Amino acid sequence: KAGVTQTPRYLIKTRGQQVTLSCSPISGHRSVSWYQQTPGQGLQFLFEYFSETQRNKGNFPGRFSGRQFSNSRSEMNVSTLELGDSALYLCASSLGLAGLSNTQYFGPGTRLTVL
Amino acid sequence: AQKITQTQPGMFVQEKEAVTLDCTYDTSDQSYGLFWYKQPSSGEMIFLIYQGSYDEQNATEGRYSLNFQKARKSANLVISASQLGDSAMYFCAMREMYSSASKIIFGSGTRLSIRP
């Protein structure tokens, strides 16, 4: 079974631009979560989607948004990029939302650099 | 509010020795799950082991075991017979099962370095 895939793997943008990151979950998984990882702040939760509905949102400004499609694929968008948005963005999928099915499997991440 | 604490920022261990990575958590929920992940320098997070709050036995997966002490709210990861490939960041995580605002939260991580 294929794992979680994220595209692109690397991205360089300039301040003020916007970016869209894509995540394809493991087949059969209906939940997708997004995280931002930086050396200073560690792993921070962005949002979680289940069956196309946003279930949870972390403490990030409205510039960060996401969505999930009917095939469970998810996209994350960051508008008006700032230098501080440079980070590794990790996507994780899980089968469901309870017990062991809650186990999140991560993709390789997208490394975003904002210049 | 739920919280995960990993108090060891870094550890050095000799190859083939056992190592324990500490994790304490705080939650008011009775139903929750605890997870450990490994993140090598490549960046990908690898799931290692899961423990449910109602599981009576400690979880084990190969060389990994979870020392679950519910009363003390600790969920330490034990790696037996460490190998050079175990060098990585290790994250403890928790999710409350039935809270409407539940999400997985991660600790700050422990960087484990295995010496040959």
- The closest alpha carbon to B13, from B105, B95, B112, B109, belongs to B112
* C-beta atoms of A104 and B97 within 8 A: no
Q: Which residues make Cβ contacts (< 8 Å) with residue A8, sequence separation at least 6?
A: A21, A110
What is the pLDDT at residue B115?
A: 95
pLDDT average, residue stretch A93-110: 83
Q: Which residues make Cβ contacts (< 8 Å) with residue A98, sequence separation at least 6?
A: B97
The string of pLDDT tens digits covering residues B24-61 is 999 988 889 999 999 999 888 999 999 999 988 999 99
Comparison of pLDDT for B96 and B8, the residue scoring more: B8
DSSP code of residue A40: T
Q: Which residues make Cβ contacts (< 8 Å) with residue B23, sequence separation at least 6?
A: B4, B5, B6, B34, B36, B74, B75, B76, B77, B92, B107
With beta carbons under 8 A apart, name residues in chain A contacting B43.
88, 108-109, 111
Distance of CA B47 to the CA centre of its chain: 10
What is the pLDDT at residue A102?
A: 76
d(CA B49, CA B79): 11
Whether the CB-CB separation of A43 and A35 falls below 8 Å is answered with yes
**A1 has pLDDT over 80:** no
Q: Which residues make Cβ contacts (< 8 Å) with residue A67, sequence separation at least 6?
A: A49, A52, A74, A75
* C-beta atoms of A45 and B103 within 8 A: yes
Structure tokens at A28: 């059969």
**Where in chain A does DSSP place strands (E)?**
5-7, 10-13, 19-24, 31-38, 42-50, 53-57, 64-68, 74-78, 87-94, 105-106, 110-114
**B98 has pLDDT over 80:** no
**B100 has pLDDT over 60:** no
**A52 has pLDDT over 80:** yes
With beta carbons under 8 A apart, name residues in chain B contacting A97.
102
Mutate to test the interface with A, among B42, B44, B106 (most CBs of A within 10 A): B44
The string of pLDDT tens digits covering residues B59-77 is 999 999 999 999 999 999 9
Q: Which of B42, B44, B109 sits opposite A42 (nearest CB)?
A: B109
Question: CA dist A26 to A8, A19, A20, A88, B11, Å?
Answer: 17, 23, 20, 20, 33
What is the pLDDT at residue A101?
A: 67
Mutate to test the interface with A, among B50, B103, B108 (most CBs of A within 10 A): B103
